[in-house]
A and B are shown apart, each in its own frame.
Chain A
Amino acid sequence: MDEARDKQIIQREIEAHRAMPGALLPILHAIQDALGWIPPQATPALAQALNRSRAEVHGVISFYHHFRTTPPGRHVVQVCRAESCQAMGGAALEAHAQAALGTAFGETTADGAITLEAVYCLGNCACSPAVRVDDDIVGRVSSARFDEIVATLRGEQVSA
């Protein structure tokens, strides 16, 4: 991890968005989009720039499930746990995903390839069960399809 580079990006995003009304969430999104997570050094920087206490900024970051305070793997895979997916075998997919990757929800595989997360509805309920892979949504995901997705993600990373 390159803290100096992170610092630059954090400052850049603060400057780009600080004039917006209610700027904190847009800045946090921009930081996470650029770095994949919200590093600890962002909290004091944001507190200072937005004239809010560190506790307040920390409170906001920790309130929202989307914001990550540990660096993710190279890809993020989210499995939907909500009712529609459960009606189509989602519980089995949840179990399979965790077993196949050898990680619990919220954790990253040992090779650093994939962070597995639970998500509550992707709006793809007409094609349940659904999974999000980085910014793509995948529908009607069977266990076999899940394994294919994972293999593709890992393959990409070898060739990259």
Chain B
Amino acid sequence: MTIQIHVPMDSGALSLGAEQVAQAIAAEAARRGVEVTIRRNGSRGMYWLEPLVEVSVGGQRRAYGPVTAADVPGLFEADFLQGGTHPLALGLTDEIPFLARQNRLTFARVGVVDALSIADYVAHGGFVGLARAIRLEPAEVVREVTDSGLRGRGGAAFPTGIKWQTVLNTPAEQKYIACNADEGDSGTFSDRMLMEGDPFCLIEGMAIAGLAVGATKGYIYLRSEYPHAHRTLEAAIEAARRVGYLGANLMGSGRAFDLEVRLGAGAYICGEETAMLESLEGKRGIVRAKPPLPAIEGLFGQPTVINNVISLASVPTILARGAAFYRDYGVGRSRGTLPFQLAGNLRRTGLVELAFGVTLRELLYDYGGGSASGRPIRAVQVGGPLGAYVPESQFDTPLDYEAYMAMGAMIGHGGIVAFDDSVDMAKMARYAMEFCAIESCGKCTPCRIGSTRGVEVIDRIIAGEDRGRQLALLDSLCDTMEAGSLCAMGGMTPYPVRSALKYFARDFGVDETQAA
């Protein structure tokens, strides 16, 4: 047997030179006349070690990283094909503490399997959930998802099973599954990693959703910023169709489900579910008023399940291992696991899938290793550009949807962006308003105009012009945006702004004691 080497084709790994490393390994192996098989996996989610090369020795995977193309001859010299020692050797991949101390359910296969191999997918438990869903009645599939406690991972944390039940209960000739792969939040990349590293898992989740609610057609609305994920998804869909995991006769059941990828076009608001529907219909991404709920009148006016990539990708595990297995992870009403994404100024950035209930401090320090710059971590934005900035005094609150809501923050899609003490929080507050002004769909005045005013007011506060009055103005502007916006774009932009002002008042030139 030839020696198996894994070199990720995850776009993060590629962004650090993984392709050059793969080529260098192939060239060096050829030069030395050794036979190797280079397999392309997703990323294990340890980006400070990317490109992470793994060699299978005696049935176990040994890791080396971060590898550059220039390191490759030396690795051969050190006999890394037999697990030889080398300064870049990291030991057994599964024993690297960052990875060993996770609860990888949804990400169990990401980085492990060859992303485009159905055989690998099946060998690692793939399509077991779909096979079970085929044997169950639709209502039983929905009940399983409801009982698992799964809540939407795209941001709003709405119970997935309840949404599915509504679509199941709504009779229609045609229903749809629309997967939200717009992943616009800065600091998030779990959707991307899953689509690039285990695309069949998303396909399986969507097929199960289709069987559960009676939808035969699915769309994946993918942001145009993800060209690699796009190629991987297209190839995976094609492969799944060829062997009957998609198409007119799912796994020989006589039931149909097929899907298609549609690209977004660089509009953050199209991650909002109704704007996404408009975009899929070929229109401007303007948010729709609710009701009607998309579950009743969604895409092309038909009942539509809209779920985030991670919500859908969690479903195969739930079906395969049962609702109780999944529900046993987590705390309170936050059941199961969340793939947290460590980003920004951290020594060890990457993906950490854990049961809810872990604290930010554990994620930042035990997993993240503290700041990359070596300076103190001062502020952490959790939940994307509409999420609050969390100060150190709140690092010990457990990550649980309700606990975060109670402190005026949100977990959202699980993005965690750390800033060290060189950050200027007044600038970050200004950026939040600026981003809202750039990305507003324009439907509501408080969002469209208020955000531009917000930038101006913060500029005046920074410049020290009539600061007291401007602060009062900013406060009332935030009130207006929160109360008068149709969606969370305008409604939650005040979260990062207000938290920045509340906890980091001195950056605004305000005496900490007089801040709101």
Q: Which residues of B contact A139 (CB under 8 A)?
A: 12, 15-16, 47
Nearest chain A CB to B7's CB is how many angstroms away?
16
| Further 20 A-B residue pairs, CB within 8 A, beyond A125-B187, A140-B16 | A21-B300, A24-B283, A25-B262, A29-B263, A50-B282, A63-B285, A64-B265, A83-B417, A83-B428, A86-B431, A87-B344, A87-B419, A123-B191, A123-B225, A123-B226, A125-B341, A125-B344, A126-B341, A126-B349, A137-B15
When chains A and B are docked, how far (Å) is the Cα of A48 from the Cα of B245?
39
When chains A and B are docked, how far (Å) is the Cα of A86 from the Cα of B420?
11
When chains A and B are docked, how far (Å) is the Cα of A23 from the Cα of B223?
17
Contacts known (A25-B279, A83-B417); A124 close to B15, Cβ less than 8 A: yes
Say yes or no: is B284 at the interface (Cβ < 8 Å to chain A): yes
Say yes or no: is B499 at the interface (Cβ < 8 Å to chain A): no
Q: Per-residue CB proximity of B156-200 to A under 8 Å, as 1/0?
A: 000000000000000000000000000111111101100000000
Say yes or no: is B345 at the interface (Cβ < 8 Å to chain A): yes
Is the Cβ of A125 less than 8 Å from the Cβ of B343?
yes
Is the Cβ of B225 less than 8 Å from the Cβ of A132?
yes
Q: Which residues of A contact B191 (CB under 8 A)?
A: 123
Is the Cβ of B284 less than 8 Å from the Cβ of A137?
no
Q: Number of contacting residues on A, CB 8 A?
A: 41
Q: Which residues of B contact A24 (CB under 8 A)?
A: 282-283
Q: Number of contacting residues on B, CB 8 A?
A: 60
Nearest chain A CB to B480's CB is how many angstroms away?
24
Chain A interface residues (CB < 8 Å from chain B): 21-26, 28-29, 50, 59-60, 63-67, 82-88, 119-128, 130, 132, 135-140
Is the Cβ of A84 less than 8 Å from the Cβ of B186?
yes
Contacts known (A25-B282, A64-B265, A88-B345); A127 close to B186, Cβ less than 8 A: no
Q: Which residues of B contact A130 (CB under 8 A)?
A: 15
Is the Cβ of A60 less than 8 Å from the Cβ of B281?
no
Nearest chain A CB to B298's CB is how many angstroms away?
13
Q: Which residues of A contact B438 (CB under 8 A)?
A: 120
Is the Cβ of B186 less than 8 Å from the Cβ of A125?
yes
| CB closest residue in chain A, given B193 | A123
Nearest chain B CB to A64's CB is how many angstroms away?
4
When chains A and B are docked, how far (Å) is the Cα of A83 from the Cα of B224?
19
Q: Which residues of A contact B284 (CB under 8 A)?
A: 59-60, 63-64
Is the Cβ of B188 less than 8 Å from the Cβ of A125?
yes
Is the Cβ of B266 less than 8 Å from the Cβ of A64?
yes
Question: Which of B189, B285, B345, B423 touches A124 (beta carbons < 8 Å)?
Answer: B189
